[in-house]
Structure formats: structure tokens, C-alpha cells
Amino acid sequence: MAASLPRSLPSGTVTCGSNKYTASAITAAINAGVDDMNSDYYPDNYPHQYYDEASEDITLYCSGSGPWYEFPIMPNGKIYDSTSSNYVSPGTDRVIFTASGTYCAVVTHTGAASYDGFVACKGD
């Protein structure tokens, strides 16, 4: 469910399963997703629209009613890129943002009730 006002990036570490992310890693993933959208480049269909499912009980910290986008956030400071010669799985974790790059949330498939469901990451 979307909140009415955006918030700052998390001040501490965000934990998704066993992966930990800093604000700078979150920002880098958002910037990569926005850059790909602006370049009309969608490796492995990312970024793509994120749909806020009430059953997932995730609060999006961005204003308005969307659309929101999801892009993989990768462990160890890597930036997701899925070129045909260098395929890397998008993993389980995603950063959610607006088309203008406003931070909304960090979510994970780890621990979700369904295969393609999400839960909020700790510290988000």
C-alpha cells in the first residue's frame, strides 16, 4: 500500500534474506534501472512495472499511485546486467522506484508466500 509522502533512503543496512544493502547500493540499483529505462534497454525484461499487491503487505514509500518499477539489486555491489554474452540471474531481491528515480522500497522473494510474491526487506 503506497504511503502519501516519499521518505529518505534507509539510514542503515537493509537485509533481504542473507543479503545486506547500503543506501549507496540501493541508489546505484535505482540509477541503473532508470538509466536502462531512459535508454530503452530492458535486459531480461528489467526494469518492469511493479504491482502493489495488498496481500503482500508491503508499504511503498513514494507518493502517488504509480506506476512503480522493479529492478534487481545484487549482492556485493554488483549492478544487474543481462547481456546475452554475460547472463547473470536477477536473484531474489528488487528495488522499487518511480520512473523519475524516487525510492519506494526494497523487497525480496525470499520468505514470500508464493513463488513470485514479495516481502519487505528488514530495515527498509
Question: Which positions are annotated as active-site residues?
Answer: 48, 70, 109
How far apart are the C-alpha atoms of 106 and 70, rounded to whole Å? 9
CB distance 18 to 26 below 8 Å: no
Q: Which parts of the chain are beta strand (E)?
A: 14-16, 19-21, 48-50, 68-72, 93-98, 103-108, 119-120
Residue 51: how many CB atoms within 10 A of its CB? 10
Nearest to 3 by CA among 58, 71, 69: 58
